[in-house]
Amino acid sequence: MRLARYLAMAGVASRRASEELIRDGKVIVNGQICTEVATNVEPGEDTVKYKGRQLHLKNYVYIALNKPTGYACTAHDPHEKQTIFDLLPKKDRLFSVGRLDKNSEGLLLATNDGDFANKLMHPRYELEKKYRVYVTGEIVNKAINAVSREGITHEDIFYKTKNIEIKKRTENGAVLVFTLTEGKKREIRKICRALDLTVRSLKRTQIGNLKLGELPVGGYRELKTKEIEALLKLTKSDK
């Protein structure tokens, strides 16, 4: 792996700050000062030191959770009886990557890797997230399409989606699929309210290229290495 990522995973600094440390000659690899940012190291084989201390990788955890409704994403709120951390393993101090409001469900990531979380949440990368939303009310195609083309303002806040697809019409509404690249608070619910639609259920089904799949409600699994790398790859290019 790249030396800067190794430093970040060892808790030295963020990946970008680690690159500066390397350029400044502050990192020792196998007894030699290393100033090449592109240097690769093999965990368990190469010896990496910073400020005279040998570095070891932290035990990072990356989890996909199918959040049920009724669970808050906050870790410390005495007013919340149920939080997502009641569903996650207790051995690691985890935090959520972004949030889903208490009445929403679906795919949520949790980790103890701050660098990973910050990259996925940074608005610059416009990481796409998909939501399946059941609404009731009159479905007006022109109004729905306008939210993606021109955007919409509700309570003095401007919202614009990447896309809204009418997946299926029902007797009193529709199932919509929202694609968002930003995370304003209760964004989908505010947009629906502006369209005179009532949200009956809201489920996040995808983050980047990671899909919820068959993960049971309230269940979780650890991400595979290739899934972690695929998510990080989406944050590589500047937009």
With respect to residue 162, please indicate whether it lies within any of the assigned structural domains: yes
With respect to residue 135, please indicate whether it lies within any of the assigned structural domains: yes
Q: Give yes or no: residues 146 and 174 share one domain.
A: yes
CA 130, 136, 139, 144: dihedral to nearest 10 degrees?
A: -30
With respect to residue 158, please indicate whether it lies within any of the assigned structural domains: yes
Q: pLDDT at position 60, please? A: 84
Q: In the beta sheet, which residues pair with residue 198?
A: 136
Query: Where do runs of H (alpha helix) occur along the chain?
Result: 3-9, 15-23, 114-121, 141-149, 187-194, 225-233
With respect to residue 166, please indicate whether it lies within any of the assigned structural domains: yes
Q: Is the separation of the CB atoms in 185 and 158 below 8 Å?
A: no
Residue with tokens 């299926």, as numbered in its chain: 168
Closest CA to 71 of 98, 100, 102: 102
pLDDT tens series, the chain, 239 aa: 899 989 988 888 888 899 999 999 999 999 999 999 999 998 878 999 999 999 987 788 999 999 999 999 987 777 778 999 999 988 678 889 999 999 999 999 999 888 889 889 988 888 999 999 999 999 999 999 999 999 999 999 999 999 999 999 999 999 999 999 987 889 999 999 999 999 999 999 999 999 999 999 999 999 998 999 899 999 875 54
Q: Give yes or no: residues 100 and 138 share one domain.
A: no
Q: Is the separation of the CB atoms in 195 and 189 below 8 Å?
A: no
Catalytically annotated residues: 101
With respect to residue 183, please indicate whether it lies within any of the assigned structural domains: yes
Residue ranges making up the domain that contains 44: 3-54
Q: pLDDT at position 237, please? A: 57
Closest CA to 67 of 109, 97, 95: 109
The pLDDT tens digits for 51-86 are 999 998 778 899 999 999 999 998 777 777 899 999
C-alpha distance from residue 188 to each of 71, 177, 178, 191 (Å): 18, 10, 8, 5
Q: Give yes or no: residues 98 and 197 share one domain.
A: no
Q: Give yes or no: residues 177 and 149 share one domain.
A: yes
Q: Give yes or no: residues 217 and 203 share one domain.
A: no
With respect to residue 239, please indicate whether it lies within any of the assigned structural domains: no
Q: Give yes or no: residues 183 and 132 share one domain.
A: yes
Q: pLDDT at position 115, please? A: 81
Q: pLDDT at position 236, please? A: 74
Q: pLDDT at position 161, please? A: 96
Q: Give yes or no: residues 160 and 42 share one domain.
A: no
* Token digits of residue 130: 């998909």
**CATH number reported for the structural domain that contains residue 71 in this entry:** 3.30.70.580
With respect to residue 44, please indicate whether it lies within any of the assigned structural domains: yes
**CATH number reported for the structural domain that contains residue 24 in this entry:** 3.10.290.10
Q: Give yes or no: residues 84 and 102 share one domain.
A: yes
pTM over 0.85? The answer is: no
Residue 186: strand, helix, or coil: coil
Residue 165: strand, helix, or coil: strand
Number of domains in the chain: 3
Q: pLDDT at position 56, please? A: 85
